[in-house]
C-alpha cells in the first residue's frame, strides 16, 4: 500500500474509534479506463454488505482527489440502482469535473503548487475517460443529480485548481436538500490533509473529519447540515512552500507497505 494510503487508513480508523477501514485497490488507467474503477468500488461495497454483513448506514465512503470523485460517483450509482445507501461521504479535494471547465482551472492556475502552471498533468490528459463522454455523471459527478444523498463533508484548499469542483458540487447538494458541510481552507493546496499533524490546517481538517464521523455514526445526532465554513490562516509561507515541506516529510517518515 502506498505510504499516504496507509497513513490515511490508520487515521480514519483512529478517528472512528477503532473502526474497520477498507482501502480499495481499484483498477487504474490507462490499462483500465472508465468504468473499471467504479465497477471495483461497487463490487467492494456489495462485498461489505452481502459477504461481511456490515450495516450500510454504518459505512462511510471517503476519498481524496480522484478517489473523492469516485466516492460521489459510487453513491450516485447506488442510489440510481436502488441499492442500500451508506451513512455518509467524506471528500478531500475531489476531482468531479473531467471536462476541466470550472473557473478555478484558470483562476488558480498560478497558485496551485501541485497542478498549476502546467497542462501537462493528469487533470488535462486523463486516460481514465477512454471513449466515454467526460460529462457522464458516473465519470464526472459534478454533472449528476444529488437528491437522496446521505450527509456529505467536503474539504478543499482555496489555492487548488480543483476548487470549483468542490464548490459546484456543494451548491448542487444544497439545492438537493442534502445535509452537507463545506470547508474551504485558505491558502491550502491539493489534499493538504496528507500533512497530518505537521500543519495546523491539516490538524483542523482531521478534527472536522472526527466530528463528522461521530455525528454520522450515531454517537451524536446534532444537526450538522447546510454549514459552510471558510477556514482562514495567517500563514506567511506560500502554498508551494508548505506543500513542499509536507511532501518532503512524507518521504522521510511514512512507512512503506
pLDDT score, position 225: 44
Q: Which residues neighbour 45 within 8 Å (Cβ) at sequence distance 6 or greater?
A: 59, 61, 74, 78, 83, 86
- The CATH class for the domain spanning 3-253 reads alpha beta
Interstrand relation of 180-185 and 227-231 (parallel, antiparallel or unpaired): parallel
The average confidence (pLDDT) of the chain is 87
Residues of the chain with pLDDT > 90, as a percent, come to 74
pLDDT in tens, 171-186: 999 999 999 999 999 9
pLDDT in tens, 136-167: 999 999 999 999 999 999 999 999 999 999 99
Question: What is the arithmetic mean of pLDDT over 92-104?
Answer: 96
Q: Which residues neighbour 176 within 8 Å (Cβ) at sequence distance 6 or greater?
A: 145, 146, 147, 148, 149
Query: Cell for 144?
Result: 449528476
CA distance 235 to 185: 12
CA distance 223 to 245: 37
pLDDT score, position 243: 58
Instruction: Read off the pLDDT band of 251 (50, 70, 90).
Output: very low
pLDDT in tens, 28-44: 999 999 999 999 999 99
pLDDT score, position 114: 84
Active site residues: 65
Residue 133, pLDDT above cutoff 80? yes
Query: Cell for 5?
Result: 494510503
Is residue 111 a contact partner of residue 50, using CB atoms and an 8 Å limit? Answer: no
pLDDT score, position 206: 97
Instruction: Read off the pLDDT band of 75 (50, 70, 90).
Output: very high
Higher-confidence position of 124 and 43: 43
Question: What is the arithmetic mean of pLDDT over 226-237?
Answer: 51
pLDDT in tens, 207-225: 999 999 999 886 443 444 4
Amino acid at each position: 500500500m502506498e505510504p499516504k494510503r496507509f497513513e490515511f487508513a490508520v487515521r480514519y480508523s483512529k478517528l472512528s474509534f477503532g473502526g474497520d477501514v477498507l482501502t480499495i485497490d481499484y483498477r487504474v488507467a490507462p490499462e483500465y479506463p472508465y468504468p473499471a474503477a467504479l465497477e471495483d468500488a461497487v463490487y467492494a461495497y456489495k462485498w461489505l454488505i452481502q459477504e461481511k454483513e456490515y450495516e450500510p448506514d454504518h459505512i462511510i465512503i471517503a476519498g481524496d482527489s480522484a478517489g473523492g470523485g469516485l466516492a460521489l460517483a459510487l453513491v450516485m450509482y447506488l442510489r440510481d440502482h436502488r441499492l442500500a445507501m451508506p451513512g455518509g461521504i467524506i471528500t478531500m479535494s475531489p476531482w468531479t469535473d473531467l471536462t476541466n471547465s470550472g473557473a478555478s482551472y484558470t483562476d488558480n492556475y498560478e497558485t496551485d503548487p501541485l497542478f498549476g502552471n502546467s497542462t501537462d498533468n493528469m487533470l488535462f490528459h486523463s486516460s481514465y475517460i477512454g471513449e466515454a463522454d467526460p460529462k457522464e455523471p458516473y465519470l464526472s459527478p459534478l454533472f449528476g443529480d444529488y437528491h437522496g444523498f446521505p450527509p456529505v463533508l467536503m474539504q478543499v484548499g482555496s489555492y487548488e485548481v480543483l476548487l470549483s469542483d468542490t464548490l459546484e458540487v456543494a451548491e448542487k447538494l444544497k439545492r438537493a436538500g442534502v445535509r452537507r458541510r463545506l470547508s474551504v481552507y485558505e491558502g491550502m493546496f491539493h489534499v493538504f490533509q496528507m500533512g497530518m499533524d505537521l500543519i495546523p490546517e491539516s490538524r483542523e481538517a482531521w478534527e472536522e473529519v472526527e466530528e463528522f464521523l461521530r455525528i454520522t455514526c450515531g454517537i451524536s445526532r446534532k444537526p450538522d447540515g447546510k454549514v459552510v465554513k471558510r477556514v482562514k490562516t495567517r500563514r506567511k509561507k506560500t502554498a508551494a512552500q508548505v506543500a513542499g515541506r509536507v511532501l518532503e516529510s512524507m518521504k522521510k517518515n511514512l512507512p512503506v507497505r
